[in-house]
Amino acid sequence: MQSWKNKNVFVTGSTGFVGSHMVQELLRLGANVTALVRKPRFDNRINFVKGSLDDFEVIKKALEEFEIDTVFHIAALAVVGEARLNPIAAFETNIRGTWNVLEACRQSSVKRVIVTSSEKVYGDSVVPPYVESMPLQGRHPYDVSKSCADLIAYTYFHTYQLPVCIVRCGNLFGGGDLNFTRIIPETIQSLIKNRVPVIRSDGSSARDFFYIEDGVHAHLLVAEEMESSPIAGEAFHFSYEKPQSVLEVVDQIRKLMNSDLVPIIQNQTSHDSNIQYLSAQKARDVLGWKPVYSFESGLNKTIEWYQKYLEDHVG
């Protein structure tokens, strides 16, 4: 890794699952971190800027005041079901929020911008594995909001030569994800509490699960390569390239936790497409990327984190 020591870095979404892991790794690497937050916080290692993605002037002022070199735009309304129930909030946060960040970067002296995206940008109609050259054609509110955000990022590169790259990871999982409606944290929590796990779908839909620490390293790798390679304006996928069904994931968690509790399959949800996963060939070829973890090793670390967390917070 190139040195992040004393680099001035701005992070949106710093209190969320992905953003908090990014901030901790940047601090470990010696970066000067500035974080956009809605509520005042105290941590003398971080420059907190009170505001939201709505606050263009606040973002621009922060980029200039702290002489930001690199921006990680991670903040998003990221819960698919919540976006479906409140599409305006998804569009305001994910679309307007992205153009506010990118326009502030354009008007400042930022050297690199990394936008966190999703495999959902491709919609339901293309056949996986998804590659970066496929058209962006989301159909549902969250998917559309991320498709639009990525197109805006491309616009800022092609029209204004803003040095921006897009990172799309598989479904990120790991310690610190407190959204217990997601299948991995929900199942682990159920088994720790000796409750039968519940699968709301029929369990057949397959996703590309990707451990959070590999996701953070992927973002950092793209930023580092932007300093020495002409990759600005590009998108990169990061994935284990082994889609697994919800039922397979639950069974693996049960096996690792030595549980004989058989899941209840409710078969209630129907709007998810059956299989979604990314090809990471471009990242391997262009960036020389390879993952540090496997799905199983990441899952083991995740289980350990939740066991400690629930022990500390629930007793």
* pLDDT, tens digit (0-9, with 9 covering 90-100), for 158-193: 999 999 999 999 999 999 999 999 999 999 999 999
Assign domain 8-173+209-241+275-293 to its CATH superfamily. NAD(P)-binding Rossmann-like Domain (3.40.50.720)
Query: Which residue among the candidates 142, 156, 277, 306 is catalytic per the annotation?
Result: 142
Q: Model-level pTM?
A: 0.95
Give the pLDDT band of residue 307 (cuts 50, 70, 90): very high
C-beta of residue 36 within 8 angstroms of C-beta of residue 22 = no
Q: What is the pLDDT of residues 205-230, one digit of tens each?
A: 999 999 999 999 999 999 999 999 99
- What is the distance between the alpha carbons of residues 41 and 38, in angstroms, rounded to a whole number? 9
Q: Strands 70-73 and 112-116, how do they pair?
A: parallel
Percent of the chain residues topping a pLDDT of 70:
97
pLDDT value at position 41?
A: 87
Q: Is 51 left (phi over 0), alpha (psi -120 to 50) or beta?
A: left
Does the bond joining 128 to the residue before it have cis omega, within 30 degrees of 0?
Answer: no
pLDDT at 198 over 70: yes
Residue that the structure tokens 């606050």 belong to: 55
- What is the distance between the alpha carbons of residues 127 and 276, in angstroms, rounded to a whole number? 8
Q: Tell me the two tokens of residue 301.
A: 């670390």
pLDDT value at position 222?
A: 98
Is 309 among the residues known to form the active site? no
Q: What is the pLDDT of residues 126-140, one digit of tens each?
A: 889 999 999 999 999
pLDDT value at position 1?
A: 54
Q: What is the pLDDT of residues 84-116, one digit of tens each?
A: 999 999 999 999 999 999 999 999 989 999 999
pLDDT value at position 269?
A: 67
> What count of residues does the chain have?
315
pLDDT value at position 210?
A: 98
Distance of CA 50 to the CA centre of its chain: 22
Rounded mean pLDDT of the chain? 95
- What is the distance between the alpha carbons of residues 35 and 47, in angstroms, rounded to a whole number? 6
Percent of the chain residues topping a pLDDT of 90:
89
pLDDT value at position 313?
A: 82
Mean pLDDT, residues 69-88 taken together: 95
Mean pLDDT, residues 22-26 taken together: 98
Neighbours of 169 (CB within 10 A): 25
Q: What is the pLDDT of residues 251-292, one digit of tens each?
A: 999 999 999 999 999 988 655 558 899 999 999 999 999 999
